[in-house]
Structure formats: C-alpha cells, structure tokens
Amino acid sequence: MQAQDRQKQIQKKSVFISCIVPVFNEQGTIEAFLDALQQCLASLSDRFEIIVVDDGSKDKTLAKALSFAENRSVKVIGLSRNFGKEIALTAGLEHCKGDVAIMMDADFQHPIETLPHFLQKWGDGFEMVYGLRRDRKNESWLKRNFAKIFYWIMTKCTRMDMPAHAGDFRLLDRKVINAMNSFQERTRFMKGLYAWVGFKKTAVVFEVQARRAGESSWRFMKLVELAITAITSFSDIPLRIWGLIGFVISMIALVYALFFVTYTLLYGVDFPGFPSIIVSVMFLGGIQLLSIGILGEYIGRIFTEVKQRPKYIIETKKNFD
Ligand code: UDP
Ligand code: MG
C-alpha cells in the first residue's frame, strides 16, 4: 500500500487495527486497561480488534478478560499454561486479521496515547514503528546495566540493528506480520526477529510509565535465560570462538614443545616442570568443559527444534469465528 493510500485510510478511519495484549497475572489492571484501549482504538478507526492472549495466568485475569469480551470486539485466547511473553505475542500475531498489528503490555507501562503517533508513522510509509523508551529510570540498576552489556554483546555477535531501548511495544504492517508468522522456530527472541525480517522502520519516543498494579514478572534469571536464547539463536560466534582459542593454544603448545626439545638437547633433562603441568592441565580442562557447555547450549536448541512440538497450546478461545 502506498503512503498516500494509507493516509486516506487513516482519515477515513478504515485501517483495520489489531491490538495484541499478552497478559500474565494482570487481574488488577486488565479491565481498566482494555476499557482505555478500546476507547483509544475507537477514536482511531471503525475497524479494530483487541486480542488478549492470556499466558496461563494463575489469578482471575482470564475470567475477567472473558467477561469483558462479552458483546465487545475483544477476542480472547487462553493458552494452556505459561509459555512466556514471546510465545504469547506469537499466538496473537498468528491470529490477528488487521492491516496493522500493535503489541502492547497490559500494565499501562506503554502509554496508550502513543498509538496515534504509531499510526501516523505507518501512514508516512513505514512498515514497522517501534516505541523507544526515553530512559529506563523505572527499572532497577541491575536490569539496566545487564541490558547495556547484553546489547553490546548482541550487536557485536550478530551485526544486526537492534535498538537498545526498544521493546515489544510496536506497530507492524501486514507484510511484517506475515513475515513474522512464517518463522517456525520454537525458541523465540522477538527483538531479534524484528531486526531479522528487515523492512522500513522508524521509532517513536515514549516515556515508560509506572506499573499500575501487580508486579513485573521478569526475574533476573529469566532475563539471563532470554539473553542466552537471544545469542544462541542469532549467532554462531560463541561456537567459532573455541576454534580460534584452540588454534592459538595449539600454536603456543607447538612453540613450547620446540623450546622444550631444544632446551633438553642443550642442557639435558633437568627440568622441574610439575607446577606448569598442573596449571596447563587445569587450564585446558576448564576451557574444554566451557566449550562443551557452549556446544551443549546449541545442541539443546537443536533438540527443542527437531521435536517439532507446537509453539503453544490453546485452551480457550472467544469471539473468533
Ligand atoms: N507477560 C506474559 N507472559 C509472561 C510474562 C509477562 O504474557 O510470562 C506479559 C505481562 O502480563 C505484561 C507484559 O507481558 O502485559 C510485560 O510483562 P511485565 O510487565 O511483567 O514485564 P516488564 O514490563 O517489567 O518488562
Ligand atoms: Mg511491565
């Protein structure tokens, strides 16, 4: 679709907008959030759908979403257990029908007032519009710095353009939605996939709001896990490093052996080498275990992929024809 046609559609309020909201234990905010979101979408377009993906909540989130969906253009997908936000978003993308899809959190951290700006940028001809956090002062010191190191490693390893302060708060054009839906991988790092698919992208800056209720479900270990998934599913540099290290160590060993032989020929076998043997055995043992661990990380990924299990299981569905 040309930018002009898009502008016309926006003016006629006829852009079909799908809004995808993954929720996990959000009983405190879900109703107020859906209410506010619905009002905003209705002001933007006459055609929209809200897809709530309940990611196996343990509280009353699903029940509240289902009762909210009565007589409204809200669709609900209830996953059979907690699959994680990446998979919940995937389920939403695979079920949306819109010309554009907007993904946002249900805890009011992503301001609803940003949506018109997203749509405007789409009207300007961009296929993907992502929200860029102005600053991360709402996040803990640990999370902020971990994110910094992580993005540094990620850009070094993958050479992909992954803006550090952008998250899942995005608008995707239908072309991008289709591209995203063509991925069959089970371990998903969405931000990597957004970068991988390409297309014309632009940013809209927004201020992260405080969470209205409940608490963030991101534990530090979960972030570490996501980081490992991200790196292992987008880069094979960790595997290659060991080839390089192995080569360097072999070269050093060769030089050392030559030196040793020459020394022995010249001065005889009087060579007290016990500590150096212990040190090199331990050093090499450590390196070997580490590299096996990294190999294992990749084999683990291959294992989950070859099993060909479905990405998610849906238990409940409401308002889908
Ligand atoms: N979420 C989800 N599945 C999960 C964890 C979180 O669907 O396993 C949802 C959650 O309900 C929220 C969004 O993802 O709508 C962002 O989660 P959260 O606010 O806990 O993360 P943070 O904003 O702290 O990064
Ligand atoms: Mg949040």
pLDDT class of 103 with cuts at 50, 70, 90: very high
Which residue, by CA, sits nearest to atom 3 of ligand 1?
Answer: 85
| CA 230 / ligand 2 centre spacing (Å) | 20
pLDDT at 3: 78
Contact 25, 74 (CB under 8 A): no
Asked if residue 136 has pLDDT above 70, the reply is no
Of the listed ligands, the closest to the CA of 85 is 1
Q: Is 123 in the pocket of ligand 1 (CB under 6 A)?
A: no
Mean pLDDT of the chain: 86
Neighbours of ion ligand 2 (CB under 5 A): 105, 107, 109
Q: Is 218 in the pocket of ligand 1 (CB under 6 A)?
A: yes
Q: Is 120 in the pocket of ligand 1 (CB under 6 A)?
A: no
Q: Is 108 in the pocket of ligand 1 (CB under 6 A)?
A: no
Higher pLDDT, 71 or 162: 162
Model pLDDT for residues 52-102, shown as the tens digit of each residue: 999 999 999 999 999 888 877 799 999 999 998 999 999 999 999 999 999
